[in-house]
Amino acid sequence: MPHDSHDHTDPPSDLTLRVKALETALTRKGYVDPAAVDAVVDTFETKVGPRNGAAVVAKAWTDPDFKQRLLDDASAACAELGFSGQQGEQLKAVENTDDVHNIVVCTLCSCYPWPVLGLPPSWYKSHAYRSRAVIEPRAVLEEFGVSIPEDKEVRVWDSTAELRYLVLPERPDGTDDLSEDALAELVTRDSMIGTGVAKK
Ligand code: FE
């Protein structure tokens, strides 16, 4: 998998540096509470972003035609729900089944499908995850509390700047009578990276 043309391996842009300098200055003067900034970032990382992906997954669970379109062309299917744009132009959905568990990593940096998952968690960007997810995915999954039976295949997908992945987790048993919205509540960010599973 070619892994070149990484826009985010370039030095920080002027804008990024200016924002950082401004934040530092305002924090030093006591005008900005770093915890408040963290709360905004956390909202984007854990609430706003992945809810988009969860809506995609819930629709795929309840609408077989949409699921097929998602597996055929994830970028187009997500755009149907209004989720498209930067870092999501080339999106591929990979389906977890009884026989296969998918897990996504970016071994070189932190390529991630922003329109459906928001910003990547810090561990996704860590050297430990980026290296170990490829070398020993089952051990990494165990540390996330996910035990994959030996007879189930684990597929590791290496994201690139050109192609990013969304895991379509398995729909939990006993959810036949749940609405699409209720199903979406079961879909965690980690279940769409593959380091978690959807649970009732
Ligand atoms: Fe990357």
| pLDDT value of residue 15 | 79
pLDDT(40) > 70: yes
pLDDT at 65 (0 to 100) = 98
How large is the average pLDDT for residues 41-52?
A: 72
Ligand 1 centroid distance, CA of 166 (Å): 15
**Residues around the ion ligand 1 (C-beta < 5 A):** 106, 108-109, 111
Give the tens place of pLDDT for each residue, 8-33.
556 777 878 888 888 889 888 888 88
**Cβ atoms of 133 and 156 closer than 8 Å:** yes
Expressed in angstroms and rounded, the spacing between residue 160 Cα and the centre of ligand 1 is 5
Q: What is the mean pLDDT of the chain?
A: 90
pLDDT over 70 at 119, yes or no:
yes
What's the rounded Cα separation, in Å, for the pair 121 and 45? 7
Q: What is the pLDDT of residues 158-186, one digit of tens each?
A: 999 889 999 999 999 999 999 999 999 99
How is residue 5 written in tokens? 């043309």
Q: What is the predicted pLDDT for the residue at 41?
A: 74
Ligand 1 centre distance from Cα of residue 114 (Å): 12
CA–CA distance, 29 with 48 (Å, rounded to integer) = 30
* pLDDT band (50, 70, 90) for residue 142: very high
Residues classed as catalytic: 106, 109-111
128 vs 198: CA distance, rounded Å:
24
Q: Which helix H or strand E contains 63, and what residues bound it?
A: none
Rg (CA), the chain: 18
Q: Among positive and negative, which fits the CA dihedral 72, 103, 153, 174?
A: negative
- CA-to-CA distance for 58 and 47, rounded, in angstroms? 16
The reported pLDDT for the residue numbered 44 is: 65
